[in-house]
Amino acid sequence: MVMRRCMNTGMKGILIAVFVLVPALLMAASAEQPNYTIRKGDTLWTIAESKFKNPLLWQRIWKANPYIRNPHWIYPGNTLVLPDGMGSADAGFGRGDGSILKITPKPIETQPVGIQKAYPLLSRQDTLMTGYITPDPAVVVGSIIGASKDKTILGVHDHFYFTTERQAPEGTKFFILAKPEEIKHPVSNASLGKLHRVIGVAQVVKPDNDSLRAVVLEAFQEIKTDDVLGRFAPVEPPVFLGPARTPAIEGVIVRIMPMAVLGGNADVVYLDKGTVDGLRFGDELKFFSANPPYAFKGTIQVVGVMENTASAVVRKSNSEVLVGDTVKN
């Protein structure tokens, strides 16, 4: 009798400990790994830009949330785990690889999907060099202030001096960004933000007389001493799971990046429409002349989407693409 009472008491103690400790552990996990509730108009690209000041980190958010089958289809109300350590200059996965998911997402809205063909829209280099337009000043985290041997044009293995307000110990990596270019709307003349394009990768080396110094690891085009630095993140070529949508969206081409500048296989254009307008990665759009008779000129496919702007590659064109050309389906 005494033994049974002791066992019952012991079991009650264990159950109490379980009911007390499990919620505490779950709360601790939630505190360590922040969550985000998806809102209307969100994409993984815009969430990465908003939370970590770098839209190129969107694939890490996808990998940290294995319940998302197609990264281009996320739904308001569902919950995302935001990987740790993504705000650092040399971002890492931390515990955000999806191996310890501590939340139960809301039921996922689904729709019938046939066999999906996955293929890259751009190479890694083209993805980086295409960049994006944003009004957020936090994209730039440092500036190049000079180069060894008084060089004005830099390439791979060249050293340069820089300034930054961030911690930059030896070994830290940065993206090298082309000098940001302000983009104004060709019709309203309103500022849409600045165009940020990655043109190289640099790594911090041993300081020279207390001056911060870095070496160029990758150079996609000539790097100049008035270019700037941005947060680094490993980037994989974006993969599109077709088929492409053709949404009923009307917009304007606000900037063109010729193929000769990017070194790729297609010209890149930038649009004045984004996620708030219903635009998504992989969408296909037609573009037309801005002047009568408003002739059809070709098709483009979206390769990057911000809240109010987007970038796209020209897939077909029967005449020159011009700033001010209209986009619609």
**Residue 297 within any structural domain of the chain:** yes
**Residue 108 within any structural domain of the chain:** no
**Do both 224 and 191 map to the same domain?**
yes
Instruction: Kindly give, in sequence order, each residue whose CB lies less than 8 Å from that of residue 241, ignoring residues fewer than 6 positions away.
Output: 70, 71, 72, 116, 117, 118, 282
**Do both 211 and 284 map to the same domain?**
no
Q: Looking at residue 67, what is its pLDDT?
A: 83
**Do both 161 and 217 map to the same domain?**
yes
Per the structure, the count of domains in the chain is: 3
**Do both 144 and 98 map to the same domain?**
no
Domain span at 142: 124-231
Contact 63/98 with Cβ under 8 angstroms? yes
**Do both 132 and 211 map to the same domain?**
yes
189 or 34: which leads in pLDDT: 189
**Residue 287 within any structural domain of the chain:** yes
Look at residues 231, 248, 281 and tell me which one is the last residue of a structural domain: 231
The string of pLDDT tens digits covering residues 104-162 is 444 545 455 445 567 788 888 999 999 999 999 989 999 999 998 888 999 999 999 99
Name the token pair of 225: 């001493």
What's the predicted TM-score (pTM) here?
0.72
Contact 96/64 with Cβ under 8 angstroms? yes
The string of pLDDT tens digits covering residues 263-301 is 556 799 999 999 999 999 999 999 999 999 999 999 999
Look at residues 203, 231, 259 and tell me which one is the last residue of a structural domain: 231
The string of pLDDT tens digits covering residues 195-231 is 999 999 999 999 988 899 999 999 999 999 999 999 9
CA angle (62, 282, 186) in 5-degree steps: 115
**Do both 204 and 263 map to the same domain?**
no
**Do both 53 and 93 map to the same domain?**
yes
CA dist., res. 172 & res. 227, Å (int): 18
> Between β-strands 211-219 and 223-224, what pairing exists: parallel, antiparallel or unpaired?
unpaired
